[in-house]
Amino acid sequence: MSKITIPIRGMHCRSCEILIENNIKKIDGVKKVEVSHKSGRADVFFEQNTAPSAALKQAIQDSGYEVGAKGKLPWLSKNKYDYINFLKGAVILIFIYLIAERFGLFGISVNTESTSLMVVLLVGLVAGISTCMALVGGLVLSLAARHAELHPEITPKEKFVPHLYFNLGRIIGFAVLGGAIGLIGSALSPSTRVIGFMTVAIGAVMIFLGLKLVEIFPALKDKSIALPKSISQFLGVGREQKEYSHKNSFYTGALTFFLPCGFTQAMQLFAVSSGNFIQGALIMSLFAIGTAPGLLGVGGLASVFQGKQAKVFFAATGIAVILLGWFNIANGSQLLFQTKIDADQGEIINSTGIQEIRMTQGNGGYSPNKFTVEKGKTVRWIITSTNQFSCASALVVPKYGISENLVKGENIIEFVPTQTGDIPFSCSMGMYRGVIKVVEPGTTKKTSAINTNVPVAQAAAAPSGSCSTGGGGCGCGGARVKPSSDSTPVNATIESGVQLIKTEYSEEKGIFPNNFVVKKGIPARFEITAKDDGEGCSNSIVVQGLHDQAEYLRSGNKIIMDFTAEQNGDFAITCGMGMINWGKITIIN
């Protein structure tokens, strides 16, 4: 046989090689073809005296490439199909997002009083399709899609097997490390700054891989991230041909124990509290088992699509990974780029008393999430956690070095603000946020919703019925409902010795009916059926003085408030921050 070497421009991955090889093999007389996108050439072996030069050039052009020495790739693709695939991928992502939002997949949570091992498994299932998916799943998706793009010649089974090793590594690694922290305590827990750095770094890697996947930036195809060797090996970047070896996949899965997922940290606290190696190992391994279906599903997607469908899948994956990467960078920045201030935590340095602020932590974050306090006075921050197995239960205040894993019930944090300005706080991933504003002494006001026996803080004071001085918007999320005018008073009905009053919440009307009459000293039950999701300031509801714990308004859910009034008077039905007055419950003899 004779051989001819042809330079080819435009190749950037193994898929290009296979496409060109398949077209050249169709030419009569060609016995063997070896194409390399790295060297930018094709070695064609053919029968002597039958050099098909014209046919070779045409086959290369029909594949979408040009004959010629490999040159510098352009920053923007000139192939219209790359942009068509990008648009198709974007449409698919929007459709998937709308479906997920419609069925409430973003708000799935586990609410239980139990702390059994079965609950740990359920928490893992929820984490596997929520915050773990945003961090661990996003990284797995980007690397899986990149691997499938570089190796289109392997079977779907060969593409999927490494994900089995990845999740097996997670389960075994989480068991060993969970047992270790159960035995020795929380010594393995990273600091807030380390968590912030890791989140930002992973987000940057995800964006880079996402930009490579969308294929409209050809110049990035030959680029790689020059991270330190240890980090590069951990993330599987820079050695794309080997990033899914069974051993590396196993170890990578085990090391995700240290990634800053809020659910993972909540489970790690549970393991630490067990004080036992076996119990700690069971808690963390069951959590990893729970996350496996979601993570295996993500990895499996990259194994299914072939041919033209794969191009659209890679584009959709690239867009999703870029968005998740940016999301992680934004969250990590909240933890990383804050200057720490030294504070005398718990010390009363002002003789006039303690500033007390109250907040509820639930599945959807913190309510209220804005406060105003005075400088130089001790702040007593009372946080009622309604779900300790939530991403939001890992609370951090980087500026004051506060890191608290909230337990179910009341949690108390005390510190002394030493400077005016904003003190941001968030969950450990930076997803759920709030702020404490520090002002000069004497500039805050007292509110009836909070204990006024001592000088106190107030929850983001604003004009009545609004969340901002603009009157139309909401500084904490954009509440669109307005307080309804009082309806005709509704007297409670008696059922099984309990006074029953019912109402509905909607985005348009707020609470309606909203005016009730209940008798003193008799058990009462207030039922609220949510027709819409509460938003911004109106995301939760309380009855001041009768049921002060904020309950979150979620479409389709029924909220039940049980109370027994001990005194006559009017009690306001408000949003959780006490800013929107929806109505009242009047107590009579």
DSSP string covering 446-493, please? --TTS--SS---BSS--STT-BSTTSSSBTTT-----PPPP---EEPE
CB 44 within 8 A of CB 30: yes
Q: Can you tell me whether residue 202 is helix, strand or coil?
A: helix
Q: Look up residue 588 and give its two tokens.
A: 């009579």
At 396, the pLDDT band (50, 70, 90 cuts) reads confident
Q: Which amino acid is at 176?
A: V
Does the domain formed by 490-588 have CATH 2.60.40.420? yes
Residues 6+ apart with CB under 8 A from 541: 505, 511, 528, 534, 550, 551, 553, 559, 573, 574, 575, 576, 582
Task: Average the pLDDT over 455-479 and give the result.
Answer: 37
Which position has the higher pLDDT, 265 or 292? 292
Out of 100-114, 308-322, 473-487, give the one with best mean pLDDT: 308-322
pLDDT > 90? residue 527: yes
pLDDT > 50? residue 235: no
Task: Average the pLDDT over 234-261 and give the result.
Answer: 64
340-461 matches 490-588 in fold: yes
148: nearest Cα among 138, 164, 163? 163
Q: Look up residue 71 and give its two tokens.
A: 């040159």
pLDDT at 224: 57
For the ranges 165-169, 477-481, 534-538, which has the lowest average pLDDT?
A: 477-481
Task: Average the pLDDT over 251-261 and give the result.
Answer: 79
Q: Which amino acid is at 252?
A: T
Ramachandran area for residue 374 (φ above 0: left; ψ -120 to 50: alpha; else beta) = beta
Q: What is the residue whose two structure tokens read 């600091």?
A: 191
Q: CA distances (Å), 141 to each of 194, 315, 325, 558, in order?
A: 24, 12, 12, 37
pLDDT at 451: 35
Is-above-0.75 flag for pTM? no
H helix count then E strand count, the chain: 13, 24
Measure the CA–CA gap between 125 and 108, rounded to whole angstroms: 10
Rg (alpha carbons) of the chain, rounded to whole number: 30
CB 265 within 8 A of CB 189: yes
Q: What is the residue whose two structure tokens read 């974050």?
A: 365
- In CATH, the architecture of 340-461 is Sandwich (2.60)
Asked if residue 368 has a cis previous peptide bond (ω within 30° of 0), the answer is yes
Which position has the higher pLDDT, 317 or 499? 499
Measure the CA–CA gap between 426 and 331, rounded to whole angstroms: 9
355: nearest Cα among 391, 319, 333, 382? 382
| Segment 344-381, tens digit of pLDDT | 433 333 444 688 888 888 767 888 888 888 888 889 99
16: nearest Cα among 61, 88, 57, 64? 64
Q: Phi and psi at residue 192, in whole multiples of 5°? A: -60, -40
Residue 443: in which H helix or E strand, if any? Answer: none
CB 481 within 8 A of CB 510: yes
Residues 6+ apart with CB under 8 A from 179: 271, 277, 278, 280, 281, 284
pLDDT at 296: 83
| Segment 474-523, tens digit of pLDDT | 434 333 444 445 578 889 898 888 999 999 998 878 888 989 999 999 99
pLDDT at 233: 46
pLDDT at 226: 45
Q: Which amino acid is at 214?
A: V
**Dihedral (C-alpha) 214, 218, 224, 225: value to the nearest 10 degrees?**
-60
577: nearest Cα among 408, 425, 464? 464
Q: Phi and psi at residue 448, in whole multiples of 5°? A: -70, -15
257: nearest Cα among 399, 430, 117, 136? 136
Measure the CA–CA gap between 139 and 255, rounded to whole angstroms: 13
Q: Can you tell me whether residue 248 is helix, strand or coil?
A: helix
Measure the CA–CA gap between 9 and 12, rounded to whole angstroms: 9
Measure the CA–CA gap between 556 and 539, rounded to whole angstroms: 14
pLDDT at 16: 74
Domain ranges for the chain:
2-67, 80-108+125-336, 340-461, 490-588
How far from chain centre, in Å, is Cα 66? Answer: 44
Residues 6+ apart with CB under 8 A from 194: none
pLDDT at 279: 83
CATH number of 2-67: 3.30.70.100
Q: CA distances (Å), 78 to each of 10, 412, 420, in order?
A: 11, 60, 54
